[in-house]
Amino acid sequence: MAEGKHNEEMRYLDEEERQLIESLDRGDWNSIDDLEEAKSEARRYAEATLRKDQRMNIRMTERDLRNLKIRAAEDGLQYQTLVTMILHKYVTGQLVERDEDQSSPDGNVTSSRN
């Protein structure tokens, strides 16, 4: 592709897309010998990662449950999904407690990546 046309098309891309194209241009990617096997393996990994095969029962205050349901509805989620997401973020170190002066305007603790 001509350099001028390449630069013209790049300006409409976000940073992640630009980095991907630049990595392709540098030759950072390798072809896969057996694409179907690689797709099958990736599918197995994804299914194992996404499989939710354990149950947990917890007791909580009616007020906390009501607030969870409200927050979940605001995000378009079922409250069980929100609880699962919060717990996942916590156990993977992605949910961190902020200092009082860093709380959201309503005083709630928010999540942040490390």
User: Predicted confidence band at 113 (pLDDT cuts at 50, 70, 90)?
Assistant: very low
The number of domains in the chain is: 2
In order, the DSSP letters of 45-93 are: HHHHHH-----------HHHHHHHHHHHHHTT--HHHHHHHHHHHHHTT
Looking at the structure, do residues 72 and 26 belong to the same domain, yes or no? no
Quote the CA–CA distance of 81 and 87 in Å, as a whole number. 10
Looking at the structure, do residues 60 and 103 belong to the same domain, yes or no? yes
Looking at the structure, do residues 15 and 67 belong to the same domain, yes or no? no
pLDDT at 97 over 70: yes
Quote the CA–CA distance of 90 and 96 in Å, as a whole number. 7
Quote the CA–CA distance of 49 and 91 in Å, as a whole number. 15
Quote the CA–CA distance of 81 and 50 in Å, as a whole number. 12
The answer as to whether 36 is a domain residue is: no
**Percent of the chain topping pLDDT 90:** 37
Residue numbers of the domain that contains 8: 1-30
Give the pLDDT confidence of 33-84 residue by residue, as tens digits: 999 999 998 898 888 777 777 889 999 999 999 999 999 999 999 999 999 8
Looking at the structure, do residues 62 and 26 belong to the same domain, yes or no? no
Looking at the structure, do residues 26 and 60 belong to the same domain, yes or no? no
- Give the list of residues 6+ apart from residue 103 with CB closer than 8 angstroms, or none: 109, 110
The answer as to whether 43 is a domain residue is: no
Looking at the structure, do residues 68 and 23 belong to the same domain, yes or no? no
Average pLDDT along the chain: 82
Q: What is the pTM of this model?
A: 0.46
